[in-house]
Amino acid sequence: MAETIVMKFGGSSVADAQRIKAAAARIADRRKAGDRVVAVLSARGDTTDELLQMAAEVSESPDPREMDMLLSTGERISCALAAMAIRDLGYDAISLTGSQAGIVTDTSHTRARILDVRADRITEALDAGQVVLVAGFQGVSTEKDVTTLGRGGSDTTAVAVAAALGASVCEIYTDVAGVFSADPRIVPDAKKLGTVSFEEMLEMASSGAKVLQLRSVEYARTHGVRIHCRSSFDPGDGTIVVNEEENVEHPLITAVTHSTEEARVTLSGVPDTPGVAGAVFGALADAGVNVDMIIQNEPTEDDKAADMSFTVATEDLRDARAALDGLMEAQGIQSIAWDEQMGKVSVVGAGMRSNPGVAATVFRTLGEQGINIEMISTSPIKISCVVSADRVADAVRALHAAFDLGDDEDGAQTPHGAAR
Ligand code: ADP
Ligand code: ASP
Ligand code: MG
What is the tens place of the pLDDT at every residue in 159-170? 999 999 999 999
CA–centroid distance, residue 143 to ligand 2 (Å): 23
Q: How far, in Å, CA of 359 to CA of 357, rounded?
A: 6
Phi, psi of 2 (to 5 degrees): -65, 145
Q: Is 42 in the pocket of ligand 2 (CB under 6 A)?
A: yes
Pocket of ligand 1 contains residue 12 by CB under 6 Å: yes
Residue-level pLDDT at 417: 35
Residues 263-317: tens digit of each pLDDT: 999 999 999 888 999 999 999 999 889 999 999 887 766 667 889 999 999 988 9
| DSSP summary character for residue 253 | -
Q: How far is CA 95 from CA 69, 86, 399, in A?
A: 18, 11, 45
Average pLDDT estimate for 2-29:
97
For residue 356, the model assigns a pLDDT of: 83
Looking at residue 192, what DSSP letter applies?
A: B
Choose which residue among 14, 42, 217 to substitute to test ligand 2 binding: the one with the highest number of ligand atoms within 8 A of its C-beta. 42
Amino acid 152: pLDDT: 97
Per-residue pLDDT, 416: 37
Q: Whose CA is nearest to atom 5 of ligand 2?
A: 152
333 lines ligand 1 (CB under 6 A): no
How remote is the CA of residue 136 from the centroid of ligand 1, in Å? 17
Which residues on neighbouring strands pair with residue 228, listed in sequence order? 171, 240
Closest CA to 344 of 309, 391, 401: 391
Does residue 44 have its Cβ closer than 6 Å to ligand 2? no
Q: Is the pLDDT of residue 53 over 80?
A: yes
pTM: 0.93
**Domain boundaries, given as residue ranges, for the chain:** 4-174, 248-420
Please determine, for residue 411, whether its predicted confidence score (pLDDT) is greater than 60. no
Across the chain, mean pLDDT equals 93
Q: Which residues pair with 27 in a beta bridge?
A: none
User: What pLDDT is stored for residue 305 in this prediction?
Assistant: 85
Ramachandran category for residue 178: left, alpha or beta (phi over 0 → left; psi -120 to 50 → alpha): left
At 376 the pLDDT is 94
Q: Is 98 in the pocket of ligand 2 (CB under 6 A)?
A: no
Q: Is 202 in contact with 348 (CB distance < 8 Å)?
A: no
Question: pLDDT band for position 412 (50/70/90)?
Answer: very low
Alpha carbon of 237 to ligand 3 centroid (Å)? 19
Strand order in the sheet with 114-117: 114-117, 103-105, 138-141, 146-148
Homologous superfamily of 248-420: VC0802-like (3.30.2130.10)
- Answer yes or no: is the C-beta of 137 below 6 A from any ligand 2 atom: yes
d(CA 345, CA 373): 10
Q: If you take atom 9 of ligand 1, which residue's CA is the nearest one?
A: 211
| Residues sharing a CB contact under 8 Å with residue 298, sequence separation 6 or more, in sequence order | 306
Q: Of all atoms in ligand 1, which is nearest to the CA of residue 209?
A: 20
Mutation probe of ligand 1 site: the residue of 176, 195, 346, 399 with most atoms within 8 A of C-beta: 176
pLDDT tens sequence across 85-137: 999 999 999 999 999 999 999 999 999 999 999 999 999 999 999 999 999 99
Confidence of residue 348 (pLDDT cuts 50, 70, 90): very high
Q: Which atom of ligand 2 is nearest to the CA of 75?
A: 1
Q: Is residue 46 within 6 Å of ligand 1 at its C-beta? A: no
Q: Is the CB of 74 under 6 A from ligand 2?
A: yes
Integer CA distances (angstroms), 155 to 39, 52, 100, 321, 326, in order: 11, 20, 18, 29, 35
User: pLDDT digits over 159-200, tens only?
Assistant: 999 999 999 999 999 999 999 999 999 999 999 999 999 999
CATH of domain 4-174: 3.40.1160.10
